[in-house]
Amino acid sequence: MNSSGADEYSPSTATKKEEMGTTLFGKYKLDKILGYGAFAKVYHARDIKTGQSVAIKVINKTKSLKTGFIPNAVIKREISIMRRLNHPHIVRLFEVLATTTKIYFVMEYAQGGELFSKLTKGRFSEDLSRRYFQQLITAVRFYHSRGVYHRDLKPENLLLDENWNLKVTDFGLSAVKEEIKSDGLLHTLCGTPAYVAPEILSKKGYDGAKADVWSCGVILFVLNAGYLPFNDRNLMNMYRKIYNGEFKCPRWMSSEMKRFLSRVLDPNPVSRITVDEIMNDPWFKIGYNEVKSISEEEFDIHGEDDIPYLNAFNLISFSSGVDISGLLNQPETVSSERFVSAEATEVILARIVEVAEVEKLIVTKKEWGVKLKGENSNFVVALEVHILTKELVVVEVKRRQSIDECCSQKIWKDKIRPELLKLVYLSEGSKKIIC
């Protein structure tokens, strides 16, 4: 776990005991911790029904959003990106779940662990290095074709499955083609220093695809050499070496591989080899077996029909999440609150309209819900209803009201609010909102 979970460190025994064995949404049972960071943890877990192993990335939404280290848009974008990608060499996202405080990425479990941990035991042979590089490039070529640029490729973000095949993970720093500026380039500075492309350092904009190719070249060098091509205790010296493309290959590296690396680690992005050119290079093609990915038409993360469900991807776009604390405790100052209900949309709207008509409020039916208005517009309430699952909906209540108007306060506090509270769905045996 890296960009979205901070650097890993060993969790305390108390934390392990507290989390392990927890059942999420009646679907997954958490097991051991695979990675642990400041804002997220990754667990091994099992699907209770099937027994299938999965990895679950748990993001503490409240903590991460308050600190600002993981903006809401970053989490939302990572989910959007992973939904686009279904490839044998990319970790697959199965589903996303959420509570009021946490977001859960349920992902494919890579039993072999990080590729980086295997490197600590010694460098790889040229054949093995090439095999992993081939798998990496096929994944990179695929997500580039989907308009995605990883921007943080490194051995720590490459996992191995039970058959020792490579899986790219952690798209937390990724960009999509929609972020490309009018000059045709990306401009956000990001990445891990030793793997970052020289054009990113120049701060003049960069081609996301070319930057990923550079990082792949650094990875290939590390796999066979056992050390970084650009390294220096002084960060500025290291950046100078990267910018000038200054590196030396070890004596055991073949002349063909040296030639290939010189094309991949070309500091000039214009003349640097492209992914398509890599695929046709003689050194790369040795022993290469093409893999086929599942088409977008065959890939559906939810496995449902086309009903417009509001899933966790949509929920986290709300800054405060699914939270009814204000609705329960501070009705006078609430401007926007949300809750989950098991009632049908028609039932929810009918109950609120009934109250509104008794109180002689003006009711305007909208495509998304209803709007209630008092005399002189001194009291306005809008209810939006979004489908969450086949059984649940999310109701968003937006209210504008003058605090000085006692009559308006009474309508809200004594009439409308009690009806809303009757509609709130609570989990069995607790007051925790299911979302």
Catalytic residue among 152, 170, 207, 323: 152
C-alpha–C-alpha distance, residues 194 and 196, integer Å: 6
C-alpha–C-alpha distance, residues 169 and 260, integer Å: 25
Token pair in block for residue 419: 């009806």
Q: Coil, strand or helix: which one is 54? A: strand
Phi and psi torsions of 380, nearest 5°: -135, 125
SS3 content of the chain, % helix, strand, coil (to 5): 35, 20, 45
**DSSP strands (E only) in 174-269:** 175-176
Angle (nearest 5°) at CA 308 between 305 and 149: 90
Token pair in block for residue 230: 């650009």
C-alpha–C-alpha distance, residues 366 and 242, integer Å: 57
C-alpha–C-alpha distance, residues 131 and 89, integer Å: 12
C-alpha–C-alpha distance, residues 322 and 332, integer Å: 19
> Read out DSSP for 249-303?
--TTS-HHHHHHHHHHT-S-TTTSPPHHHHHT-HHHHTT-----PPPGGG--SS-
Token pair in block for residue 78: 């990572």
C-alpha–C-alpha distance, residues 132 and 115, integer Å: 10
Based on DSSP, count helices (H) and strands (E) in the chain, helices before strands.
Answer: 16, 16
> Read out DSSP for 17-43?
HHHTT-EETTTEEEEEEEEE-SSEEEE
- The continuous run of DSSP H or E covering 355 comes out as helix 345-358
For residue 152, indicate whether it is catalytic: yes
Catalytic residues: 152
